[in-house]
Amino acid sequence: MLRQAAGLTAAIFFALSVSACCCPSAGSYACCEKAPRGFVHVSEAVPDVILEIRYHTTYNFAGERIDGYEKPEALLTVEAAKALKAVSDDVMKQGYRLKIYDAYRPQRAVSHFVRWAKTDDTRMKACFYPNLDKSVLFPRGYIAEKSGHSRGSTVDLTLFDMASGKEVDMGGTFDYFGKESHPDWCGNPETQQYTGPFPGSAKPSGGKINAEQFRNRMILRTAMMRHGFKPLAEEWWHFTLADEPYPDTCFDYPVR
Chain CA centroid to CA 113, Å: 15
Residues 31 and 217: beta-carbon distance below 8 Å: no
The catalytic residues are: 235
Backbone angles phi, psi at 159, to 5 degrees: -105, 145
Instruction: State the DSSP H helix or E strand holding residue 155, giving kind and residue range, or none if neither.
Output: strand 154-161
Given a contact cutoff of 8 angstroms between Cβ atoms, the answer to whether 223 and 90 are in contact is yes
* Apex 227 CA angle, 84 and 218, nearest 5: 95
Query: What residues contact residue 14 under an 8 Å CB cut-off, 6+ apart?
Result: 40, 41, 44
- Which residue(s) pair with 187 in the sheet? 194
State the pairing for strand pair 193-194/187-188: antiparallel
Alpha helices in the chain (DSSP H): 2-17, 42-45, 78-92, 107-117, 125-128, 211-226
